[in-house]
Structure 1
Amino acid sequence: MQAAKNAAASAKEKAENLAASAKAGMDKTKATIQEKVEKAKAHDPAEKEEAKLKKQDRISQAEHNKQEARIENAAERERARLDAAHHPGHGGSEGSALPEHGKSGVHVTLGTARSGPMGTGGTR
């Protein structure tokens, strides 16, 4: 069971990394196009140089965002792995007696309990 959870977390991480890479690629392409537009509108070499610097900044920001996403995705996978290792058999809503793990319709907050059909707000 743990191996399946780890495999699912790994697959999720890969998919999210792929999405982050795709977004970074789109952002880099957008930066290049914006540079071309700004250079076409520029009237002097200083404005053209400024457009080039803006493009480089946008590309650097896109790459930074991608790396941050990869770090966060790896951390999320590690949290899932540790959670599975520390709570074997508590795979979420199935098999758990804890209200926060199931769809029991019970909501407990600071000593108060509400129960009722899901999505209706319950009774007090």
Structure 2
Amino acid sequence: MQAIKEKAANVAASAKSGMEKTKATMQEKVDRAAANNPTEKEMATERKEQKVNQAEFDKRAAQEHNAAARNATKNTGQPHTYSTTGAPGHPTGTHQQSALPGHGTGQPTGQVTEGVVESHPIGTATGTGRTNAAHNTHVGAATNIGGSYT
């Protein structure tokens, strides 16, 4: 399972790196087109190269972090987070990540009957407590006739 998490995090880091490289290349094209002299064009190319190198560095750092997290999990049995940026993360454990009761803790929020999946008819019991009129911005609005509101 840890190997799958590491691969997924590495794919995300690689995708992020690719996106950063693409953005750098496109920005270079814009900057070169707007440049008035060869020096400005050269500076645009240098900025692109710096951004591409930084993106590659960040990807490698993330991959190294992910490998270290996998090895640490293997050695200690404690879960670690995986990164797309190379920055170390902290597992949330049982810390609630949302104001919703039980959300983010892995605990069910209501009554649970094992082996039973609850279902609701489509279009009802959405939990919003609103009628369709509440979504219509024109309901109850004044109309503008001849410059005055009625």
- TM-score, normalised to structure 2, is 0.52
Q: Residue 26 of structure 1: CA displacement?
A: 0.3
The CA RMSD over aligned residues, in Å, is 2.5
Distance in 2 of aligned mates of 1:75 and 1:11? 14
| Consecutive unaligned residues in structure 2, runs of 5 or more | 80-92, 96-101, 104-150
> In the alignment, which residue of structure 1 is the partner of 2:19?
26
| 1:13 is the counterpart of 2:10 | no
> In the alignment, which residue of structure 2 is the partner of 1:61?
54
**Matched length:** 85
SS at match of 2:36: coil
Structure of higher RCO (CA pairs closer than 8 Å, 6+ residues apart): 1
SS at match of 1:43: coil
- Runs (4+) off by over 6 Å: none
The sequence identity of aligned pairs, in percent, is 45
Q: Residue 80 of structure 1: CA displacement?
A: 0.6
Give the structure with the larger helix fraction. Answer: 1
Q: Residue 102 of structure 1: CA displacement?
A: 7.3
| Consecutive unaligned residues in structure 1, runs of 5 or more | 1-7, 92-100, 104-117, 120-124
Distance in 1 of aligned mates of 2:29 and 2:16? 20
Q: Residue 83 of structure 1: CA displacement?
A: 1.4
